[in-house]
Amino acid sequence: MNKIKIGIIGLGYVGLPLARLFATKFAVVGFDINSNRVAELQSGIDSTLEVSEAELKEVTRNESPTEAGLYCTDNSDLLKDCNYYIVTVPTPVDRTNRPDLTPLHKSSETVGKVLKKNDIVIYESTVYPGVTEDECIPVLERVSGLKFNVDFFVGYSPERINPGDKKHTVDKILKVTAGSTPEIGKKVDDLYASVITAGTHLAPSIKVAEASKVIENSQRDINIAFVNELAKIFNLMDIDTHDVLEAAGTKWNFLPFQPGLVGGHCIGVDPYYLAQKAQEFGYHPGIILEGRRMNDGMGKYVSSEVVKLMLRNDLKVKGAKILILGITFKENCPDVRNTKVVDVIRDLKGYGADITIYDPWADPAEVEREHQVTTTDKIPKDKYNAIVLTVAHNEFLDLDLRSLLNSQGVLYDVKGILKTNEVDGRL
């Protein structure tokens, strides 16, 4: 393994932690098309907060390394000396929730231009079964002029990064691996096993590994959809859902899922990838799509519940000042991709409400670019007719929320982190 040089394509929430980890043992070139992202990494700063400044500076090199170390660049020519390529680009859906494979196609073209005989390309991006072999490999062959499984080889090892989680870091999460031949599967598995302390699981084929990843998040999506439906039912019965879940959770095999807004780059997206492939085979995945329908509709449900509470308190909704606490897709994390908080915001704006969004973790400029929504990272000083706690950031627990409300103002807790007697309603 001493001769291994790894190229990581995509330096986001998945690629950077992986590149940093591999760079402790191997020469690594990290490539990203975002020159601003590369510049911040070269200066030792990771705006995603997944890798600390100390960890990044420890492995960062000023030029393409020949020994252990990481060099970040937006120049794809510097990938030419690598013999392992790991693709860690996003796999989003479009406006109609159909898989958008554009990032995968483009990154495959980038790798194809520098691909050499005996090189191994590993994909980590979450996809439906068959994407690696049916979509990515043809691009590699076309651009490189090389023949798959003769001149170059392919592996698949689905990412399991949990943004913001400092306990389950990349090295502490068991890694599923696969290769285009048994021999390549072993090489891919050995590569990851050299840095993943949690261990690896070598799957029998690339399609099996692809399927294992996409059902991980589909399973979570369906379970969350179930408790979201329970929340709607128990709300009609005037029963606190969280009290019910706490009681049911005393049984040893009860699964501890909570109701909420399901966003992010995995749970809210991956089921659509599996559903798309199932439909191509003539099968309608009813449970998967119904789970998606339920979870995609929770933003509108939350906003309607807030409006009901306001009307009960004789508060006029049109022109009402409403404070939204949190815009990121999860707590204590700056990631705003596919956040479902925007659904709550847009629906409340549809009622004519005056919305203020406070999130100490989110970059206001990034939120504006991603969602065309104005936010602040400064604690508001105004009085509000309603406050909606949508993200469970630690900072919100220290706020005296009632002091920010008018006398008839309502407090709604989406995340269930406040005491029952402190709120007027919660999911």
Question: Annotated catalytic sites, by residue?
Answer: 266
Dist CA 306 CA 304 (whole Å): 5
Three-state DSSP class for 28? Answer: strand
Whose CA is closest to 121, among 130, 109, 129?
109
Question: Do the beta carbons of residue 21 and residue 175 sit within 8 Å?
Answer: no
Q: What does each C-alpha distance from 321 to 309, 346, 357, 406 come to in angstroms?
A: 14, 14, 11, 10
Q: What single-letter DSSP state applies at residue 408?
A: E
Q: What single-letter DSSP state applies at residue 152?
A: B
String of DSSP letters for 80-102:
TT-SEEEE-----B-TTS-B--H
Tokens of 65: 């390394």
Question: Do the beta carbons of residue 192 and residue 177 sit within 8 Å?
Answer: yes
Cβ contacts of 307-312, under 8 Å, gap ≥ 24: 307/348, 307/351, 309/386, 309/410, 309/412, 309/424, 309/425, 310/385, 310/386, 310/410
Question: Do the beta carbons of residue 20 and residue 52 sit within 8 Å?
Answer: no
Dist CA 424 CA 372 (whole Å): 30
> How many C-beta atoms surround the C-beta of residue 425 within 10 A?
17
DSSP element (H, E) containing 58:
helix 53-59
Residues in the chain: 427
* Cα-Cα-Cα-Cα dihedral sign, residues 232, 238, 242, 248: negative
341-350 helix and 298-312 helix, angle to the nearest 10 degrees: 50
Neighbouring-strand partners of residue 27:
5, 69
Phi-psi region of 43 (alpha: psi -120 to 50; beta: other; left: phi over 0): alpha
The pairing of strands 175-179 and 153-156 is: antiparallel
The pairing of strands 354-358 and 200-202 is: unpaired
